[in-house]
Amino acid sequence: MKSLDQLLRVAPDPSQPLITFYDMATGERVELSTVTTANWVAKTSNFLVDELEAEPGTRIRLGLPSHWLRIVWILSAWNVGGVVVDRDADIGVSGPELEADEPLKVAASLRPLGARFATPPPGFLDLGAEVPGHGDHFLALDPPGPDSPAIDLEGTASTHAELLAAATPDPVRRVVAPGPVARDARLLVDACLGGGSLVVVAAATPEEISRVATQEVGRLG
């Protein structure tokens, strides 16, 4: 593999979970297999290209918390040759707090199953309303290569090849508390390459996270 847009194609069993998200405050649990994740990524990639005119090098700031949608957007950015950044972005992605000042602004309600906002968010495109109607398959006309930029986060920039070279393929279900985008991006690469998965537990005490790790037969951290 030479670029990160191929990550979802290397799963040994695409029917197995890739992302599991818990919100202990609401009781929400969402589990996405590699197949389901790929479907969301294809739709989001088509939305990025068709509606937001994303192209190789487009800078995308993800203001989403650690959540299954953050993972989908990381993968989608790489799929279209975009760069996941934390500043100087062309596209800003916000959660329900509606905080973004980029030229193009989109927002996720973070309601279960990626549902739309109850009322349209002023000044933002509603991901829950926009993304589901896009196609289930995506074909990049100008796919990223090994030297394409992949992330520019926390003062560190890495290409597709550099992230792949730094990966430590992980075959287990790794259970983690919410963390920064850079961490989630690297854990995602490790999980995809190793046939593992990522379990994110939000709004939880250390004891609750340990309990989820036992239930999911996963490894903390």
pLDDT at residue 172, as a whole number: 93
Has residue 117 got a pLDDT over 90? yes
Question: 49-55 long-range CB contacts below 8 Å, 24 or more apart?
Answer: 49/80, 49/138, 50/134, 51/125, 51/130, 52/91, 52/104, 52/106, 54/80, 54/81, 54/82, 54/90, 54/91, 55/80, 55/81, 55/142
pLDDT at residue 97, as a whole number: 98
pLDDT at residue 119, as a whole number: 97
| Contact between residue 20 and residue 199 where contact means Cβ atoms under 8 Å apart | yes
State the Cα–Cα distance between residues 196 and 175, nearest whole angstrom. Answer: 11
What domains does the chain contain, in order, with CATH numbers? 4-220 (3.40.50.12780)
State the Cα–Cα distance between residues 79 and 186, nearest whole angstrom. Answer: 16
Q: How crowded is the C-beta side of 4, counted as CA atoms within 13 Å? A: 36
State pTM to two decimals. 0.97
pLDDT bucket at 219, cuts 50 / 70 / 90 = confident
Mean pLDDT of the chain: 96
Question: pLDDT tens-digit profile of 162-172?
Answer: 999 999 999 99
Question: pLDDT tens-digit profile of 184-217?
Answer: 999 999 999 999 999 999 999 999 999 999 998 8
| Contact between residue 129 and residue 114 where contact means Cβ atoms under 8 Å apart | no
Question: pLDDT tens-digit profile of 120-157?
Answer: 999 999 999 999 999 999 999 999 999 999 999 999 99
**Percentage of the chain surpassing pLDDT 70?**
100
pLDDT at residue 154, as a whole number: 96
pLDDT bucket at 220, cuts 50 / 70 / 90 = confident
